[in-house]
């Protein structure tokens, strides 16, 4: 027998990494050394908490976002860490800047696809570890308007996202493999001062040039500590310029939300907001040879799992150098969108829920309604020949539901579902033999109170009279 607590963790990890076959391969295997994820250490004042709630309301409701990794590395097509893991000399790598010549307004197709998939916000790499700025800056010539693209790619992205009504996020890597002070800042104080001024300056430009920005997504803080980066001052500036923005925890401070990467694990601290970022194959930046794509079903299951744990799912695309989206990402995201068209309301803005998942379904909740997401549809079972419980087929059942069921229906079609509730179970009966909806069918189960599902209760309290053997 499994211990439900343990198995949940294992299960969540499995969903994130089992599907990619390799534990968090893209980022997990690579040495993200010096990565400090800040976590809260001291309790916060009610004002701070209330302000965060205000700023994060849309984000909690959104649940699903699109991550975009795009830069000079896309030209190579071997993942965004190529410069470091292949040891490409800076003077050679920077030649790519002249030859990065994307199609105009490539971001419009990203935004359209995001909207189609049911994603509510986007987060684009403005500068990745390679140091190339996709935006207009006065602080370096190593930027899109002054190199191959000849224009501000971040401006195009912002315009595209807004045109589709999506929230706008900026990814920004503190680590910089190109800037002369990017490594020596750790040991040379004059270099640190220069590099921090440069970094804060770039962030200031990002926070002032594009109107209202919704998310600032810092990444890798190597090689400095939060003190070295002057992260407090950095966040203060960001909030002064963008009072409604939310920031993540990768400049070494806790920020507004935690960022589990390539796995779905809610932080242990109760109430801490979190967002799992994940690749659709095993690479963030375009990797032309990576064919290890997650299925639509895995992506939908992951999204359900995030919603069940009241977290967000930031799913990555790695556009090609011309800005077009790999075909497999388009296909899977379109299919996810078809499912979200019908079932989105069971995901967005769902309430916190106390419910263990079963081995073939997971749950979300809104008010007193329990949404059961069945991703392995039971269909017909041989057991129905002898066991009344499985009749009339098909039967979907929940053990340990602590609420009275008032009504039930198939969510997408609205078809009413017959049910019977005993002390230990509720059975939904006479359901179609094959799954009504792919990759998961949702049952909407209206209860008389907030539904809690605890399978342990079945084990502990089940009636054992009537044992016949």
Binding residues vs ligand GLC (CB under 6 A) = 27, 32, 69, 80-81, 219-220, 261, 277, 284
Token digits of residue 237: 């500036």
Nearer to ligand GLC, 81 or 257 (CB): 81
Nearest to 418 by CA among 243, 426, 153, 462: 426
Minimum distance between the CB of residue 468 and ligand GLC, rounded to whole angstroms?
Answer: 56
Specify the DSSP element, H or E, that contains 50: helix 46-62
**Residue 174 Cβ, how far from ligand GLC at the closest point, in Å?**
11
Nearer to ligand GLC, 136 or 219 (CB): 219
Element holding 161 (H helix, E strand): helix 153-163
For 38, half-sphere exposure in the C-beta direction (CA atoms, 13 angstrom radius) is 24
**C-beta of 92: minimal distance to ligand GLC in Å?**
20
Nearest approach in angstroms of CB 285 to ligand GLC is 7
By beta-carbon proximity to ligand GLC, the closer residue of 321 and 439 is 321
Contact 313, 26 (CB under 8 A): no
> Could you tell me the smallest distance in angstroms from the CB atom of residue 27 to ligand GLC?
4
Q: Which is nearer to ligand GLC, 192 or 250 (CB)?
A: 250
Task: With CA atoms as reference, report the closest residue to 168 among 199, 221, 207, 118.
Answer: 207
Q: Do 306 and 346 touch, CB atoms closer than 8 A? A: no
Nearest to ligand GLC of 77, 344 (CB atom): 77
Sheet harboring 405-410: ordered strands across?
361-366, 369-374, 441-447, 405-410
Q: 32 or 452: whose CB is closer to ligand GLC?
A: 32
Return the number of the residue (206 or 426) whose C-beta is nearest ligand GLC. Answer: 206
Reported for 364-368, long-range contacts at CB under 8 A and 24+ positions apart, including other chains, are 364/304, 364/307, 364/308, 365/450, 365/451, 367/450, 368/403, 368/446, 368/447, 368/448, 368/449, 368/450, 368/451
- In the DSSP assignment, the letter for residue 390 is G
What is the CB-side half-sphere exposure of residue 439 using CA atoms within 13 A? Answer: 18
Distance in Å, CB of 403 to ligand GLC, minimum: 38
Least Å distance, CB 328 to ligand GLC, is 19
User: 174 or 395, CB closer to ligand GLC?
Assistant: 174
CB atoms under 10 Å from CB of 21, counted, come to 9
- Cα 188 to its chain centre, rounded Å, is 37
Tokens of 124: 């684009």
Q: Least separation, in Å, of the C-beta of 261 and ligand GLC?
A: 5
Residue of minimal CB distance from ligand GLC?
Answer: 27
């Amino acid at each position: 027998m499994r211990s439900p607590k343990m198995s949940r963790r294992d299960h969540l990890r499995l969903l994130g990494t089992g599907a990619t076959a390799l534990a968090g391969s893209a980022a997990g295997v690579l040495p993200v050394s010096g990565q400090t994820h800040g976590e809260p250490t001291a309790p916060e004042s009610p004002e701070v908490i209330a302000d965060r709630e205000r700023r994060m309301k849309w984000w909690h409701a959104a649940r699903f976002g699109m991550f975009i990794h795009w830069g000079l590395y896309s030209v190579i097509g071997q993942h965004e860490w190529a410069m470091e893991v292949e040891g490409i000399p800076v003077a050679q790598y920077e030649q790519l800047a002249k030859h990065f010549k994307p199609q105009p307004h490539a971001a419009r197709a990203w935004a359209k696809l995001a909207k189609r998939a049911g994603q509510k916000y986007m987060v684009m790499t403005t500068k990745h570890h390679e140091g190339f700025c996709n935006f207009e800056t006065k602080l370096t010539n190593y930027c899109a308007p002054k190199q191959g693209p000849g224009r501000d790619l971040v401006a195009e992205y912002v315009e595209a996202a807004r045109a589709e009504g999506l929230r706008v996020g900026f990814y920004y890597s503190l680590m910089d493999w190109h800037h002369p002070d990017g490594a020596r800042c750790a040991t040379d104080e004059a270099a640190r001062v220069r590099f921090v001024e440069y970094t804060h300056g770039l962030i200031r430009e990002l926070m002032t040039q594009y109107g209202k920005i919704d998310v600032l997504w810092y990444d890798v803080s190597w090689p400095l500590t939060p003190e070295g980066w002057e992260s407090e001052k950095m966040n203060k500036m960001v909030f002064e310029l963008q009072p409604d923005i939310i920031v993540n925890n990768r400049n070494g401070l806790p920020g507004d939300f935690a960022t589990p990467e390539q796995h779905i694990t809610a932080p242990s601290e109760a109430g801490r907001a979190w967002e799992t970022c994940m690749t659709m194959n095993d690479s963030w930046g375009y990797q032309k040879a990576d064919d290890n794509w997650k299925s639509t079903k895995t992506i939908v299951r992951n999204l359900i799992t995030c919603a069940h744990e009241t977290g967000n799912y930031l799913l990555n695309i790695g556009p090609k150098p011309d800005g077009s989206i790999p075909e497999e990402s388009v296909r899977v995201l379109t299919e996810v969108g078809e499912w979200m068209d019908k079932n989105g309301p069971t995901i967005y803005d769902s309430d916190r829920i106390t419910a263990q998942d079963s081995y073939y379904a997971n749950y979300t909740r809104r008010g007193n309604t329990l949404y059961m997401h069945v991703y392995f549809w039971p269909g017909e079972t041989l057991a129905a020949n002898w066991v009344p419980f499985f009749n009339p087929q098909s039967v979907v059942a929940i053990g340990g539901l602590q609420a009275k069921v008032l009504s039930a229906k198939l969510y997408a079609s609205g078809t009413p579902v017959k049910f019977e509730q005993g002390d230990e179970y509720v059975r939904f009966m006479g359901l179609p033999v094959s799954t009504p909806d792919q990759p998961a069918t949702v049952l909407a189960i209206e209860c008389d109170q907030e539904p809690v599902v605890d399978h342990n209760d079945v084990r502990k309290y089940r009636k054992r009279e009537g044992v016949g053997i």
